[in-house]
Structure 1
Amino acid sequence: MQVFDLSSEHEESFSNGVNGNIDVAFKKINKSYADFLMWKVENMNVVALTKDQYGTFYDTESYIIYAASPFGEPSGTEAVTRDLRGKPIEYHVHFWLGQNTTPEKSGVAAYKSVELDSILSCCSSQHRETQSNESDRFLSYFKNGYKILKINDNTNDEDEAKLYKVKGKSIPALIQIESVEWDHFRSSDVFILKTTQTIFVWIGRASCIEERRHAAKLSEEMKERLKIPNIIFVDDGYEKTTDGNIQKQFGKYLPLEKRIVLPESGNDKEETDANRGCLRLYKCSDNNGKYRVAEIKSGPLIQADLTSEDVFIIDQDLNGIWVWVGRKVNEREKNEALRNARGFVKKKKYPSNTKVTRVVEGVEPVEFKMLFRLWKTDIPNAKNLKLPMLISKFDAITMEDRLSLAAETQLIDDGSGGITLWRIKDTKIIEISKDRYAHFFSGDCYIVLYSYHTLHEEKHLLYCWIGSDASQEEINITTTKLEEIDEELGQLGFQARIIQGREPAHFLQIFKGKLTIFNGTGTDFDETGKNLKGPSQYLLKVFGSTTYSAKAEQVDFKTSSLDSNSCFILRRGKKYYVWCGNYSTGDQREIAKGFAGKDFELTLEGKEKEDFFNLLGGQMPYKTQMIKNIYDKKPARLFFCKTSPLLQVQEILFFQQSDLLPENVMLLDTDDTLFIWMGKLSTREEQRLSIQGVMHYLQNDPSKRDMNMTVIHIKQGKEPPTFKGFFCKWDSKLWKYYKTFHKLKQEIQMKNTDQDSNNGYIQQKSGYSDFDHYEKYPIPTLREPNDRLPNKVDPLNKELHLSHDDFISLFKMAYEEFEKLPRWKQQEMKKKVGLF
């Protein structure tokens, strides 16, 4: 447990200007309005920017951003100013610091942010943002992208050559580089080189498809705005095999004899992902005039860890620092909270660009609440909130028409479709008869094929259910069989993996609320495994109050298994009892009766006959405390996924359907279900590794999620309404006109004024071979002895780590030709050039 005192000396002062006076620049703010405003620090003052300046930053400057919106709703450059009187509002204040800003400017931005927070009654979330390490919320404000430029003057410098890096998955950032030199290039990056006659788009070998697409679009916008005739695409390692004229133009600014392209970035992102789950909680206090920070716990946090009288710091390592301020803390502590968090960053020796955010009790943003498994919000004006819409019709056509209802209920239809059910026994798959469909056993695995009709077509879903006592061998066989069935049926596009106890609503619906799960395996009561008879004596706990939430699970046959919140079915031979706890509802009781057949004895808690407890081995204590579900339903979250080799994720706040890119595998986390969305252009390898990636994602979730969550694989174009409904607008034709990077590239090249610029070798390349997937190094590096080679170099195949151009310069042929040669000939050539 760490304890340390914080110094009050920081590069940014957070309180110099808070004196009760409102800066004239902030007088435009109306606290009851949704709004989005930006200011820049100039001459030690803040100056309001015009709307057309939003999204353009200069790396020598400091900025302040104000975003006010209804709770849980987006803000940003496209936000409409409107009156929100009577509605709960969340306020966010960001100050953004360019990497070359001055301490004086960053200081003004810091204390003016505190001043702005004071105007908002110290109820805003305050964010310290630094260039190239912006928060997901900051990025969400600029859906069309943002720019970070080098200079801020009025001189006409359009004749100068300029180099820009393109970064960002969902939100593109165009970042100007200080000089046009090879030293800035990495194989994982994409660059735009703007010259007077040509815009060159350099595509790093290991760059991601999103940044390539962003670069194509940004270069086209730049071309039109600056009236530049041509756009040329140049691929990493192929610069010397472009058309001679293009090579000459490009080499004028980036001489090819000086070409140095560093390998792709290291494992920083993977380390950051691994640290997602590392949380430590610190309590802050004044100690004889010193500000003391003491670690009080690590691991998963609960809301009760936070107390209204105190200030706490949540340390998420490189993922950022959160400082939470209780509502009873005085204004001075609220104002100084961010400053003290910065002191904490220094004390821990974290990088200076570590994200720091201050949040206030009662108005915490969703990103903060996600650090906790459960969270209860006292919502202001709760009486104005809409009640959920009641509906009894859940047929497929209704759910396709009302996608938000499908998402809320997680129902695809009313369960009236056709079912084929198989049970896995050893290495065989046995079809189950219809009269035994709803009898499952905890030691077994099952596959369910469900078929239903919409207005225009028949659709199919594949579920696999894994019992909590199933062997790993049977689980593996079930997974294999599931894939085989899917292939035989022409890839249905919907596969759900369900662990016992985590059954989703629609799965329960197809069994009409009668799913019964017994302990053991089906062969315990029937050696053939075909009839799947149940035991003649059992105690079942009944869950749910509707057909889409109901099931019954066998529990230990004793009184201590009872619970006053639930209903139970006791069977002894042919005798059935339905026991109803004091806190069970009428609907629960009606559902419970359905598990007992026609002849049963209804038993109410407290009015049991003596023989009831005798059947269970006598009276014992059991749970009698009322359970209330008072916690917030967590909102759905969308993540970009990349598996290399572990899953890396990046969240997209306030996501929309257009964020689902066909080249990607995406993860939609709805709190109780994980949807893995597989774009049509994503690789088979990424799809194959996605389930391992999901496990890695859950393991590293800071709130320590349930590892047995339902995981559903869906393919682009096969999305069920239960997925579509999480997107505010779903357009079934969206991808009809989708343009891949190569399509965008072709269209851009066709518009070039100089059509000769399209005739280079690089413009004819349609993609990258396996050769391009290897890390590339200079020739002298690869000629070093094996014990001095970089770790990623295969000493037996050094030629794979040459760039295309270096390969041709050494071997006088392309790798594709070399690959076809006999092995002895390859080795002879490698010896000749010093790579054997």
Structure 2
Amino acid sequence: MIKESPFKVLDDGIGGSGSDASQGNIDVAFKKINKNYADFLIWRIENMNIVALTRDQYGHFYDTESYIVYAASQYGHQSGVDSVTRDLKGKVIEYHIHFWLGTNTTPEKSGVAAYKTVELDGLLNSTSTQHREAQGNESDRFLSYFKNGMRIFKPAIIENGNKQLAKLYRVRGKCTPILSEMSNLSWDHFRSSDVFIVKAHQAIFVWVGRAASVEEKRHATTISQEMKEQHKIPNIVFIDDGYEKTINPDIQKQFSTYLPLEKRVVLPDNEAEHGEIPNSRNSLRLYKCSENNGKYRVAEVKGGPLYCTDLCSDDVFIIDQETYGIWVWVGKRATEKEKNEALRNARGFVKKKKYPSNTKVIRVVDGVEPIEFKILFKLWKTELPKGQSPKMPMLISKFDPITMEDRPKLAAETQLIDDGSGGMTLWRIKNTRIVEIPKERHGCFFSSDCYIALYSYQTAHHEKHLLYCWIGSNASQEEINITTAKLTEIDEELGQLGFQARIIQGRETAHFLQLFKGKLTVFRGRGIDFDETGKNLKNPNQYLLRIHGSTTYSTKAEQVDWTASALDSNSCFVLRRGKKYYVWCGNYSTGDQREMAKGFAGKDFELLLEGKDKEEFYALLGGRKPYFTQMIRNDFDPRPPRLFFCNSSRKYEVQEILFFQQSDLLPENVMLLDTNDTLYIWIGKLSIREDQRLSIQTALRHLQKDPTDRDMNMTIIHIKQGREPPTFTGFFPKWDFKLWKYYRTFSKTRQEIEMKNTDQKIQNGQKHSTSGNSEFDHFEKYPVNILKEPNDRLPSRVNSLNKELHLTHDDFVSLFKMTYLEFEKLPKWKQQELKKRVGLF
């Protein structure tokens, strides 16, 4: 049922059908743009005109202003502050125009920015992607331009003829940290998930939130050092969240003049109490737009998942991702007015839906859609120019381990680590133990069983090992749990190999198939039904197999129903009845597929071609029956690899890093590389155990929330820092195995900064080490008055039986007159008595 809702077009300064650009009157500021060049430019709105910023001002914004950002690059390539202007003749170019609106900008300035964006788009023949960016809710692409962070300031305040000296800044953001100047010096701004900088005359105070990310901490150290040099401030003081009273009394007194400790109130991250973030799969909806007598009508077409065939080039469509953002797609044959006013009408849609005013709004044009738009669709097909054929998958004959390590991009594309010629030990899970399977039976799997494979191979330098577990589609949950436990047990016994892959039947990776040289066969049922010991060579003697694949690294056989209706013109099948084999080849199967199919038949087999087959073949299957005869084409665009920062503390959320590189993999983090067929979970050496433990839930949650209805059973591979296979490293533009050799942690950098302070009291640092309280520090912290509330009024993340864990160190010492470590050593009855005494029982 199509629902239609009319609303009046809202004029907030966006768009307009009669732009100057369409009439050839281009603003002088845009004259230097060459449409054939990669370029990155920023302008600020001043006195209703646009003024170009110099390169050294890029990434610096004022919250009272509006800006236009222009990014032109080769399609799929990065742009940003470090971009070099260069000719892209002969290459596909994508143009992005962003207008960024500060929180305190005026409607006049935002109106000019929006209007000039349309004018600039006209200069580019209306082929740009236009983004409305609001401070605090910038798109991933916008943030990717500023890899070294953004800085947002307030206009300088003059007091008594001098600029105000003491200022408070917040550092927030996992992928691109943003420094924001606060309106005043107050504890009201503080959250445990951020880092704050107080710039004062005699010292720079860096307050480190307990739950702040390593990126935020590192960014804060860089900025504080720059401030120290620029303003000739002698000292940088680090203060840990909840440990303010452990610093030197003199320094504490200095800090309290700006932020009185008796007024300290620091809450966990706002989002922690807001419950679930909307599920983008459920909220993704497609609307068709039309205009009639000045009324803009929006008719709902469908919910997700979406396909590119849902769009029509004659029309304009809105894709509603709720708070994730609003996309408006303009068909090639839409009118000029529709193209120019699309963004304004999308803003009207945001207001009609009562979404937050800072909701991202992006206009994309038919034929030049950016990758962020395409990945909203389950399948996307790019129309190629006439005469140009799609790139065929690479077929390779030599893929020994040395070749693949030397050519990681090839390894990543094919997902092959080597040719499978190494050594393998294979076990089947039987009840609560594992039974080794003899080499002659390798490759005979059963759908109700689980298996573990340990594969070893030799590279140019040393021997490497991989651990795979294979889970049959009909395996019991109990056996799956046992398999997972045994996998971890074997890994620990072997000193943690750094590569663990979970494969579910039907989703086998290329390298896993290569281990069995294109002979992997999956029978129905349990293996012990045919072989109790695992040592005999019994197999079913009557079955019909469907053969998938055309190479040793893509081929497998799967048992299907014993009926002619299971046949398919796109595949080959092997029928066995006792000692007799038939190889049946569909009309659309290739010669390579047929050759691989023969490998699943015994020496005595008969080759049957569809249409020339025999009645006796069908008689064995119970007679002829209709089966699938349409040709299947898989010529859709391959989805690009995507890197995500994992954050288990926020209900297993992930945050994407566009145009990722190896340096985005920080040892303190757990990262997720999504290659569409496989999820790699990268475990940094310094990442916390909790993030490691919850990584699988984070990965599954990522799949669940994807709007394209992802396969929840896809392969998940855990790899550890320093043990990355070429199938992982090949997805990164450049890989340097020595990158982390001289990696300096935040603690090390902090120590070095403190040693350079002129004040000896600061050099000694704080009188505590948070590492000893790691478990205590891991809990969300709340003020004492909140924790003393009745249990039914406590925040949802507070453990009502152990409220003391949610105190800061300073509050704990103040209440209990001892540290948590001392409290922890007391008998339980004594702990309970103390908790009653302080009102936290």
- Please confirm whether the aligned pair reaches a TM-score higher than 0.5, indicating the same fold: yes
Aligned to 1:140: 144
Superposition deviation, residue 524 in structure 1? 2.9
1:109-157 Cα shifts (integer Å, max 9, x gaps): 1111111111111111111101111000001111111111111699996
Cα distance in structure 2, aligned partners of 1:320 and 1:594? 51
Contact 1:646 1:696 in 2 (8 A): no
1:260-409 aligned within 5 A = 260-267=265-272, 271-272=276-277, 274-275=279-280, 277-380=282-385, 383=388, 391-409=396-414
Aligned to 1:100: 104
Aligned to 1:209: 214
Do structure 1's residue 511 and structure 2's residue 516 form an aligned pair? yes
**The 10-residue stretch of structure 1 (729-738 or 473-482) with the greater mean CA deviation from structure 2:** 473-482
Aligned to 1:8: 9
Q: Partner letter of residue 168 of structure 1?
A: G
Superposition deviation, residue 791 in structure 1? 4.3
Contact 2:498 2:719 in 1 (8 A): yes
**The 10-residue stretch of structure 1 (391-400 or 790-799) with the greater mean CA deviation from structure 2:** 790-799
Cα distance in structure 1, aligned partners of 2:129 and 2:200? 42
Q: Partner letter of residue 516 of structure 1?
A: T
Superposition deviation, residue 516 in structure 1? 1.1
Contact 1:88 1:380 in 2 (8 A): no
Superposition deviation, residue 616 in structure 1? 2.1
Do structure 1's residue 640 and structure 2's residue 645 form an aligned pair? yes
**The 10-residue stretch of structure 1 (13-22 or 294-303) with the greater mean CA deviation from structure 2:** 13-22
1:312-357 Cα shifts (integer Å, max 9, x gaps): 1111111111111111101110111111111111111110001111
Cα distance in structure 2, aligned partners of 1:188 and 1:672? 33
Cα distance in structure 2, aligned partners of 1:637 and 1:561? 36
Aligned to 1:236: 241
Superposition deviation, residue 503 in structure 1? 0.6
Aligned to 1:452: 457
Cα distance in structure 1, aligned partners of 2:649 and 2:737? 31
Which of 616, 625, 635 is 1:620 aligned to?
Answer: 625
Cα distance in structure 2, aligned partners of 1:260 and 1:349? 32
Cα distance in structure 1, aligned partners of 2:795 and 2:650? 19
Do structure 1's residue 799 and structure 2's residue 800 form an aligned pair? no
Superposition deviation, residue 158 in structure 1? 6.8
Q: Secondary structure at the match of 1:487?
A: helix
1:527-546 aligned within 5 A = 527-531=532-536, 533-546=538-551
Q: Partner letter of residue 219 of structure 2?
A: H
Superposition deviation, residue 240 in structure 1? 2.2
Distance change (3 Å), C-alpha of 1:474 and 1:831: closer
Contact 1:169 1:211 in 2 (8 A): yes
Contact 1:163 1:177 in 2 (8 A): yes
Q: Partner letter of residue 256 of structure 2?
A: G
Q: Partner letter of residue 826 of structure 2?
A: L
Distance change (3 Å), C-alpha of 1:2 and 1:643: farther
Q: Partner letter of residue 229 of structure 1?
A: P
Which of 151, 155, 168 is 2:155 aligned to?
Answer: 151
Contact 1:88 1:381 in 2 (8 A): no
Superposition deviation, residue 526 in structure 1? 3.0
Do structure 1's residue 417 and structure 2's residue 422 form an aligned pair? yes
1:722-741 Cα shifts (integer Å, max 9, x gaps): 00000010010111111221
Cα distance in structure 2, aligned partners of 1:719 and 1:38? 39
Superposition deviation, residue 833 in structure 1? 4.0
Distance change (3 Å), C-alpha of 1:387 and 1:604: closer
Q: Secondary structure at the match of 1:174?
A: strand
Q: Secondary structure at the match of 2:277?
A: helix
Aligned to 1:732: 737
Aligned to 2:19: 18
**The 10-residue stretch of structure 1 (191-200 or 500-509) with the greater mean CA deviation from structure 2:** 191-200
Contact 1:577 1:600 in 2 (8 A): yes
1:801-816 aligned within 5 A = 801-816=806-821
Contact 2:448 2:472 in 1 (8 A): yes
Superposition deviation, residue 600 in structure 1? 1.7
Cα distance in structure 1, aligned partners of 2:267 and 2:213? 16
Aligned to 1:82: 86
**The 10-residue stretch of structure 1 (2-11 or 744-753) with the greater mean CA deviation from structure 2:** 2-11
Do structure 1's residue 654 and structure 2's residue 655 form an aligned pair? no
Superposition deviation, residue 759 in structure 1? 2.5
Do structure 1's residue 112 and structure 2's residue 120 form an aligned pair? no
Cα distance in structure 2, aligned partners of 1:732 and 1:233? 32
Superposition deviation, residue 382 in structure 1? 7.8
Which of 598, 602, 622 is 2:607 aligned to?
Answer: 602
Identical pairs, percent: 71
Cα distance in structure 2, aligned partners of 1:404 and 1:790? 48
Contact 1:233 1:762 in 2 (8 A): no
Q: Partner letter of residue 103 of structure 1?
A: P
Contact 2:314 2:331 in 1 (8 A): yes
Q: Partner letter of residue 216 of structure 1?
A: T
Superposition deviation, residue 232 in structure 1? 0.5
Distance change (3 Å), C-alpha of 1:760 and 1:490: closer
Cα distance in structure 1, aligned partners of 2:631 and 2:339? 38
Cα distance in structure 2, aligned partners of 1:684 and 1:700? 24
Q: Partner letter of residue 62 of structure 2?
A: Y
Cα distance in structure 2, aligned partners of 1:679 and 1:269? 29
Distance change (3 Å), C-alpha of 1:432 and 1:819: closer
Cα distance in structure 2, aligned partners of 1:409 and 1:574? 36
Contact 2:547 2:597 in 1 (8 A): yes
Superposition deviation, residue 804 in structure 1? 2.2
Distance change (3 Å), C-alpha of 1:219 and 1:762: farther
Distance change (3 Å), C-alpha of 1:395 and 1:805: same
Cα distance in structure 2, aligned partners of 1:79 and 1:3? 45
Superposition deviation, residue 365 in structure 1? 0.7
Aligned to 1:630: 635
Q: Partner letter of residue 309 of structure 1?
A: D
Do structure 1's residue 56 and structure 2's residue 60 form an aligned pair? yes
**What value does the CA root-mean-square deviation take over the aligned residues?**
2.2
Cα distance in structure 1, aligned partners of 2:312 and 2:708? 19
**The 10-residue stretch of structure 1 (598-607 or 449-458) with the greater mean CA deviation from structure 2:** 598-607
Contact 2:644 2:655 in 1 (8 A): yes
1:797-821 Cα shifts (integer Å, max 9, x gaps): 4433333223333333323223333
**The 10-residue stretch of structure 1 (373-382 or 161-170) with the greater mean CA deviation from structure 2:** 373-382
Superposition deviation, residue 221 in structure 1? 2.5
Cα distance in structure 2, aligned partners of 1:58 and 1:282? 36
**The 10-residue stretch of structure 1 (269-278 or 181-190) with the greater mean CA deviation from structure 2:** 269-278
Cα distance in structure 1, aligned partners of 2:113 and 2:275? 32
Which of 41, 44, 48 is 2:45 aligned to?
Answer: 41
Q: Secondary structure at the match of 1:578?
A: strand
Cα distance in structure 1, aligned partners of 2:484 and 2:780? 34
Aligned to 2:673: 668
Do structure 1's residue 122 and structure 2's residue 126 form an aligned pair? yes
**The 10-residue stretch of structure 1 (212-221 or 243-252) with the greater mean CA deviation from structure 2:** 212-221
1:372-417 Cα shifts (integer Å, max 9, x gaps): 1111012458849987765421000010010100000000001100
Contact 1:158 1:196 in 2 (8 A): no
Which of 179, 199, 206 is 2:204 aligned to?
Answer: 199
Do structure 1's residue 688 and structure 2's residue 689 form an aligned pair? no
TM-score where L is the length of structure 1? 0.96
Distance change (3 Å), C-alpha of 1:438 and 1:322: same
**The 10-residue stretch of structure 1 (602-611 or 548-557) with the greater mean CA deviation from structure 2:** 602-611
Distance change (3 Å), C-alpha of 1:396 and 1:273: farther
1:269-311 Cα shifts (integer Å, max 9, x gaps): 8633634552111111123431011111113111111111111
Distance change (3 Å), C-alpha of 1:694 and 1:389: closer
Aligned to 2:74: 70
Contact 1:14 1:338 in 2 (8 A): yes
Distance change (3 Å), C-alpha of 1:206 and 1:153: closer
1:88-124 Cα shifts (integer Å, max 9, x gaps): 1111110000000000000011111111111111111
Aligned to 1:580: 585
Cα distance in structure 1, aligned partners of 2:453 and 2:124? 55
Do structure 1's residue 490 and structure 2's residue 533 form an aligned pair? no
Contact 2:99 2:132 in 1 (8 A): yes
Contact 2:133 2:361 in 1 (8 A): yes
Q: Between Structure 1 and Structure 2, how many residues are aligned? A: 836
